[in-house]
Amino acid sequence: MPVRTVAIVGAGIAGLTAALAFARKGVAVDMIEKAPALEEVGAGLQSFPNASAVLDKLGVLPALEKLWFEPDRILLVSGSSLKPVSSVPSGTFARQRWHMPHGVLHRATLQSTLLAAVQANPLCRLYLGQQLDAASEADIVAVTGRVPDLVVGADGVWSALRRTVPGAKAPRFSGNMAIRFVLDSATGATVFDPTCVTALLGAKTHIVAYPLREMNAFNLVAILQGGGDARSWFRSMSAWDLTAALAAFSNWNPAIQHLLATAPNPTSWPLFQVADGPWHVGSSTVLIGDAAHAMTPFAAQGAAMAIEDAFELAAFATGTGPLAPALAAFEQHRRARIAKVRARGAFNRFAYHARGPVRVARDIVLSMRPPETLASDLDWLYGYRALDEAPVSTPRH
Ligand SMILES: Cc1cc2nc3c(=O)[nH]c(=O)nc-3n(C[C@H](O)[C@H](O)[C@H](O)COP(=O)(O)OP(=O)(O)OC[C@H]3O[C@@H](n4cnc5c(N)ncnc54)[C@H](O)[C@@H]3O)c2cc1C
């Protein structure tokens, strides 16, 4: 049976992208979001060409390009000496190699751009301030007034809908936390090259910094071990919390230590991940984004995977064949991609946080490889194009 109506639970990056992707296929969409208003939460995000290609297909790329910043390079730098270790070209190079831009922006900018497109689409309805704790038809109809053909759980790492998928795994603390804050651009530019994304590498720690053009600011995220396992997305840090966390950066360059110690309004993010498990129940419910497979940010691809999931789900679910096998095919197809991205994240974690002889070897290997060959390692990731139609092997009538 073709899908005519979907209910999407959660209006984050995955949910809003899915709404646009389904509407583009002619499907009516009800979005159910627990927050009473979609506020400016979160921090910086990088949209690599694989995600930008989907945003382009959905018609929001031109609006984003007016707001975001396209870095010239991703610069890998020693956290102690601040000397460059290596770099991967981006900017014009990314557009030529992967045929799409790499942009950096605030999550709120991406969310509000997607939201404006959803609100302008007559096939999409948004219900704010409505928390769903299960995917029961009665609960959904009570909010939307109509029975959906499919429920999409896009309700993030602490997904309630995941609990309705038999065998789905609970989130687990990764052992790492992130400290995120935004600096004014003049302060950021005293330490970081404002034309680049800078990744500073240290033992068991790393920092990523880049400009947020639309806010005239710099985004900074510091990753370290520890951080507790509080069940939260993020929380404000007290001066005491910050001082305790900064012990992990005691061997870092004093300029970076000073930036961290004087961080304005720092927030701490315990990093949780959701291990491999089923994402769908028959033909009724399917999970996407962090609800399905939250991952650590070492490959900076969490939101990108949510965006790819959303677009490809619409492709698989709108075939003319039965929905349950189409959802199974979607899950199998996406699982392979997510596994590769997770493996890349694990590799980055190993390389970024190396110490002792491994760090020395890493720096030698990276300095010997021309930047273009480092870029070619990423073709499978950034050159990926999300499917607009399900492959022919998916059952269709
Ligand atoms: C430090 C850090 C850095 C990162 N950097 C990057 C990066 O550079 N690039 C990148 O691609 N990704 C990055 N990510 C990952 C990215 O932020 C997430 O993967 C992405 O936001 C997940 O989107 P989502 O829509 O699945 O979930 P969310 O953004 O969490 O959205 C879920 C939505 O569902 C709503 N909701 C929850 N429960 C319910 C309910 N019961 N009923 C109704 N509504 C509900 C929530 O209010 C929310 O609006 C980073 C993450 C971290 C922690």
Res 329 pLDDT > 70: yes
The torsion region of residue 91 among left (phi > 0), alpha (psi -120 to 50) and beta comes to left
d(CA 242, CA 260): 8
Q: Whose C-alpha lies nearest to ligand 1, atom 48?
A: 12
Contact, 141 vs 7, CB < 8 A?
no
Contact indicator for 32, 141 with CB cutoff of 8 Å: no
The ligand 1 atom at the shortest distance from the C-alpha of residue 271 is: 53
pLDDT 10s digits, 190-204: 999 999 999 999 988
- Of 136, 158, 290, best ligand 1 pocket probe by most atoms within 8 Å of the beta carbon: 290
Single-letter residue type at 318: T
CA 375, distance to chain mean position in Å, is 20
User: From CA 213, how far away is CA 236, in angstroms rounded?
Assistant: 24
Ordered structural domains, the chain, with CATH: 5-71+99-170+274-349 (3.50.50.60)
13 CA from centroid of ligand 1 (Å): 6
pLDDT at 4 exceeding the cut of 50: yes
Helix extents (H) in 40-98: 49-57, 61-65, 92-98
Percent of the chain scored above 70 by pLDDT? 95
- pLDDT value, residue 373: 79
How would residue 240 be classed by pLDDT, with cut points 50, 70 and 90? low
- Which numbered atom of ligand 1 lies nearest the CA of 17? 25
Q: What is the DSSP letter of 69?
A: B
Candidate from 20, 31, 33, 212 with most ligand 1 atoms within 8 A of CB, to mutate: 33
Nearest to 263 by CA among 186, 187, 202, 176: 187
Q: Which of 139, 238, 233, 255 is nearest to 177 (CA)?
A: 233
Residue nearest to atom 37 of ligand 1 (CA): 155
CA 166 to ligand 1 centroid distance, Å = 22
Measured by CA distance, the residue closest to atom 29 of ligand 1 is: 12
Instruction: From 336, 360, 362, 337, select the one nearest 350 (Cα to Cα).
Output: 362
Ligand 1 midpoint to CA 296 (Å): 12
| pLDDT at site 54 | 98
Inform me whether the pLDDT recorded for 183 exceeds 50: yes
Q: How many CB atoms lie within 10 A of CB 198?
A: 25
pTM over 0.75: yes
- The structure tokens listed for 49 are 């060409």
- 19-42 per-position pLDDT tens digit: 999 999 999 999 999 998 887 677
Cα–Cα distance measured from residue 10 to residue 32, given in angstroms and rounded to the nearest whole number:
6
Between the CA of 162 and the centroid of ligand 1 the distance, in Å, is 15
Identify the residues whose C-beta falls under 6 Å from ligand 1: 9-15, 32-35, 45-46, 131-133, 154-156, 160, 178, 180, 221, 269, 271, 289-291, 297, 300-304, 306
Q: How far is CA 278 from CA 119, 128, 308, in A?
A: 32, 28, 18
Confidence of residue 396 (pLDDT cuts 50, 70, 90): very low
pLDDT of residue 233: 62
What pLDDT was estimated at residue 368?
73
pLDDT on residue 315: 97
Cα of 397 to ligand 1 centre, how many Å?
Answer: 36
Output the residue whose Cα is nearest ligand 1's atom 21: 303
Distance from the alpha carbon of residue 51 to the mean position of ligand 1, in angstroms: 15
Q: Which of 65-79, 143-157, 241-255, 277-291 has the lowest mean pLDDT?
A: 241-255
